[in-house]
Amino acid sequence: MLDELLPRLPGLPDLDLASYPLPDGLSGLYHGFLNRELGRDEDRWYEMFKPVLGLIAVAQGEGLTKTQLQQITGKEVEQPLRICRQYLGGELPEGPFRVFHKSLADFLLEDEKNIHYHIDSQPTHQKIAEYYLRIYNGRWPACRDHYALCYTSTHLIEAVQGAKQRDLCQELTTDLFEILTDLSFLEANTSGAGIDVVCANLNKALKLVPSDGESASDLHDIVQILDREAYKLRDWNRERYPTFFATQVCYQARQLGCCALLMLHKPSWPIMGSHIWNYAGLQQRDRLL
């Protein structure tokens, strides 16, 4: 930000502040910066800056890398990253990148006075979620993208909450239900983000699905299972104990009478080998598959 402010000050000791007006708060600073960079070239904003700044503004954790930004947008992102680098956290060229200060995200996403450079967070969250669902849905055990493992469900929840059209909301809610009842995803999500984040997202999702439907019932069962096993899963190391999550989930499901849920997911959960199935006492039910 000093890069923006210092040129406004004279090099003479007897400066007249009235002759060198400062921007109207941080919002004015950001608005003035974008005005100077873009001039009247609106296409440059829509084609180059808006897609990149939108993703960075909603990015979670340490942010998104240059490679991830390019893959999600389908565009070259190096130029906007270099131009905006003073307002971003993360080192060029690869990052990961996030907003340096929350005020930039607030300006882009929430500032009512920001008419020309406003970005709608809902489609941005949706874009990230759909990108990762397209690549990894049904093959989460093979996912090695830490950001995808940690934050796909977070972005999907935000997309559902921000959806204004009923059909879109229902479509995204279906995607959310599918991913949060996919035990292979929950296993990978727990390994990446931690069990507390997983349980928090599950509880948020419960409020977004109809309470009288089968979706809510399945989510409720999963919340119960993971809540009861959370204290054991907080320090779980997937590399050292690859079958621990599956073992504990199967055992707790049996205790709670949720075996039907496991029966549904066993074919798509490769790690659930016969020894885990048997340990949980489900071997007789398995014959019904």
pLDDT tens readout for residues 197-209 = 999 999 999 888 7
- Identity of the residue numbered 129: A
Query: In the predicted model, what is the mean pLDDT of residues 29-49?
Result: 91
Largest CA distance in the chain: 89
Give domain limits for the chain. 1-119, 125-289
At residue 93, the 3 state secondary structure works out as: coil
Per-residue confidence (pLDDT) for residue 261, from 0 to 100:
63
pLDDT tens readout for residues 79-117 = 999 999 999 999 999 999 999 999 999 999 999 999 999
Per-residue confidence (pLDDT) for residue 258, from 0 to 100:
75
Residue 285 pLDDT exceeds 50: no
Residue 41 pLDDT exceeds 90: no
pLDDT tens readout for residues 116-131 = 999 999 999 999 999 9
Burial 182-208 (b: 16+ CB within 10 A, else e): bbbbbbbbbbbbbbebbbebbebbbeb
Query: In the predicted model, what is the mean pLDDT of residues 152-160?
Result: 96
Alpha-carbon distance of 158 to 204, in angstroms, equals: 10
56: alpha, beta or left? (left if phi > 0; alpha if psi -120 to 50): alpha
Instruction: Name the pTM for this structure.
Output: 0.84
**If you average pLDDT over every residue of the chain, what do you get?**
84
pLDDT class of 243 with cuts at 50, 70, 90: confident
